């Protein structure tokens, strides 16, 4: 997208302004480079970038309009000091600055938050199984078989209570994650509406040309005011320049006034037809991301129930009196005991990360400038080329070597999972059905990894990057 905008910018300005543009092309090239640097690294402030660009453009335009004079650095500094007062470009710098800042900040914050949010979810999978979970889950899954109750699975409530104890750190993360999801969704709405970066970047050539024409129209008046404030400049005599009126900088208005309306008409027609027919690729990707990440709301809260739904149990789901309750065959009537959360450095780090991202997303939603310097450039270098599953595959290989990570489903029949709706606050029902089919082993860590895969959105962030 940026490359297309630069190419169209160069073609239009070369055609419209000719040698004047080519002699000052580095001003515009540097401007585009600064925009790209912001998106890739976040090491520049867009407000400063806009101020610098229009300040330099103001100086260059002033010298072009007043080509009969010579100016030293001190005089040009005086010219710049009065730019805000003169407003040579009209309101274009102010409006364009707001549009660029909002769209670029929101797009970059959206992308970086997806990447870092996926990292936080991945890191949370590193929370290991403690001794208490090891004992209770073993008792829940195997003690019934040891007491001659072979084939009878644990009671649904017994299973969910046990797994809530095992996943107590993960469920504690639920509110923080849901707030993050809401913030991502709201910024996504902005990117599909007023902060749409394509709508801002595509007509950059038109808007900057409009600013230049504003200066051309008021050039004489602005120059006289500058003379009164900065002094009369030294006259430069260049008789040889008069021999080539086509290249003269004394009359650039001719080219601009002829070409500009023609280009504007072309752009206007393009913008009327394109959005009506279909959405852009970037809009489709953002819409897809919004839906996928909204589906992860209450994921952490429902994680224990998801695990129990996927256990291979083969007693009738409606017969709660014929299930293993931890001591015998019967009903399970114990309520969940509040377990001690304790301190977890891994959990604390992810909570801190998500809270920071949520705050930045809220600022981006409000159109504020967000400082988000890229400190993970190396790890993100290839983020656009895959689905993001690779990191979790490594985790699966490692978890097979952990002696404390149990296989709960080895040699047991298949199960039908029933998941709650994304917005539901009701605990999912644990479904137990009969089947003779064997399934892959489902350890606690592997279960967590399997459920996490839909949440890894690094690829989507990479897709956004590749389009810009």
How large is the average pLDDT for residues 58-69?
A: 92
Q: Is the pLDDT of residue 135 over 60?
A: yes
pLDDT band at 166 (very low <50, low <70, confident <90, very high): confident
Q: How many CB atoms lie under 10 A from the CB of residue 100? A: 21
Indicate the pTM of the whole model: 0.71
Q: How many CB atoms lie under 10 A from the CB of residue 311? A: 23
Q: Where are the domains of the chain?
A: 2-103+196-278, 112-194+288-467
| Range in 69-73, 330-334, 388-392 the model is least confident about | 388-392
Q: Which residue has the higher pLDDT, 457 or 19?
A: 19
| Range in 130-144, 178-192, 232-246, 436-450 the model is least confident about | 436-450
Mean pLDDT score of the chain: 74
How large is the average pLDDT for residues 147-176?
A: 82
Q: Is the pLDDT of residue 426 over 80?
A: no
The pLDDT score that the predictor gives to residue 423 is 40
What is the distance between the alpha carbons of residues 237 and 205, in angstroms, rounded to a whole number? 34
The pLDDT score that the predictor gives to residue 319 is 53
| Range in 92-101, 164-173, 442-451 the model is least confident about | 442-451
Closest CA to 415 of 397, 400, 429: 429
The pLDDT score that the predictor gives to residue 446 is 57
Q: Strand, helix or coil at 420?
A: coil
pLDDT band at 467 (very low <50, low <70, confident <90, very high): low
The H or E element that residue 143 is part of is: helix 131-146
| Range in 23-37, 173-187, 189-203, 302-316 the model is least confident about | 302-316
pLDDT band at 90 (very low <50, low <70, confident <90, very high): very high
How large is the average pLDDT for residues 334-359?
A: 82
The pLDDT score that the predictor gives to residue 221 is 92
Burial classification of residue 54, based on how many CB atoms lie within 10 Å of its CB (0-12 exposed, 13-18 middle, 19 or more buried): buried
The pLDDT score that the predictor gives to residue 213 is 94
What is the distance between the alpha carbons of residues 197 and 458, in angstroms, rounded to a whole number? 20
The pLDDT score that the predictor gives to residue 196 is 93
Q: Is the pLDDT of residue 420 over 50?
A: no
pLDDT band at 237 (very low <50, low <70, confident <90, very high): low
Q: How many CB atoms lie under 10 A from the CB of residue 292? A: 13
Task: Return the DSSP state at 196.
Answer: -
| Range in 58-62, 97-101, 280-284, 306-310 the model is least confident about | 306-310
The pLDDT score that the predictor gives to residue 411 is 32
The pLDDT score that the predictor gives to residue 239 is 55
Closest CA to 14 of 34, 32, 29: 29
How large is the average pLDDT for residues 56-60?
A: 94
Task: Return the DSSP state at 428.
Answer: P
What is the distance between the alpha carbons of residues 300 and 306, in angstroms, rounded to a whole number? 10
The pLDDT score that the predictor gives to residue 175 is 93
């Amino acid at each position: 997208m940026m490359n297309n905008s630069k190419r169209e910018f160069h073609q239009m300005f070369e055609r419209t302004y000719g040698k004047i543009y080519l002699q000052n092309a580095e001003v515009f090239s540097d401007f585009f480079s600064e925009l790209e640097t912001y998106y890739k690294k976040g090491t520049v402030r867009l407000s400063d970038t806009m101020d610098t660009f229009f300040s330099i453009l103001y100086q260059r335009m002033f010298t072009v309009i007043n080509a009969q004079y010579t100016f030293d650095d001190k005089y040009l500094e005086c010219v710049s000091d009065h730019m805000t007062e003169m407003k040579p470009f009209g309101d274009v710098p102010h409006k364009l600055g707001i549009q660029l800042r909002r769209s670029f900040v929101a797009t970059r914050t959206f992308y970086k938050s997806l990447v870092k949010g996926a990292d936080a979810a991945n890191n949370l999978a590193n929370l290991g199984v403690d001794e208490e979970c090891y004992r209770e889950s073993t008792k829940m899954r195997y003690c019934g078989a040891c007491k001659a109750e072979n084939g009878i699975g644990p009671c649904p409530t017994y299973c969910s209570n046990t797994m809530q104890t095992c996943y107590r750190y993960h469920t504690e993360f639920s509110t923080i994650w849901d707030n993050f999801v809401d913030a991502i969704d709201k910024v996504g709405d902005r990117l599909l509406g007023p902060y749409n970066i394509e709508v801002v970047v595509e007509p950059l050539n038109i808007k900057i040309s409009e600013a230049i024409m504003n200066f051309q129209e008021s050039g004489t008046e602005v120059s006289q005011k500058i003379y009164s404030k900065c002094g009369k400049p030294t006259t430069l005599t260049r008789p040889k320049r008069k021999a080539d009126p086509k290249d003269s900088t004394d009359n650039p208005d001719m080219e601009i006034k002829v070409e500009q309306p023609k280009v504007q008409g072309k752009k206007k027609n393009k913008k009327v037809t394109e959005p009506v027919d279909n959405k852009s690729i970037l809009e489709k990707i953002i819409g897809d991301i919004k839906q996928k990440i909204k589906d992860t709301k209450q994921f952490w809260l429902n994680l224990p129930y998801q695990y129990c739904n996927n256990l291979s149990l083969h007693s009738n789901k409606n017969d709660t009196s014929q299930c293993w309750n931890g001591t015998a065959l019967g009903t399970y009537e114990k309520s969940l005991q509040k377990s001690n959360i304790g301190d977890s450095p891994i959990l604390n780090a992810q909570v801190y990360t998500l809270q920071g991202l949520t705050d930045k997303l809220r600022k981006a939603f409000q159109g504020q400038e967000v400082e988000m310097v890229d400190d993970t450039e190396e790890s993100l270098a290839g983020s656009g080329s895959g689905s993001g599953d690779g990191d979790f595959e490594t985790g699966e290989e490692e978890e097979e070597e952990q002696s404390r990570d149990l296989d709960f489903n080895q040699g047991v029949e298949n199960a039908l999972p029933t998941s709650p709706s994304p917005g539901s606050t009701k605990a999912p029902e644990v479904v137990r059905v009969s089947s003779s089919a064997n399934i892959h082993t489902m350890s606690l860590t592997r279960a967590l990894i399997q459920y996490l895969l839909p949440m890894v959105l690094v690829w989507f962030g990479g897709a956004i990057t590749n389009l810009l």
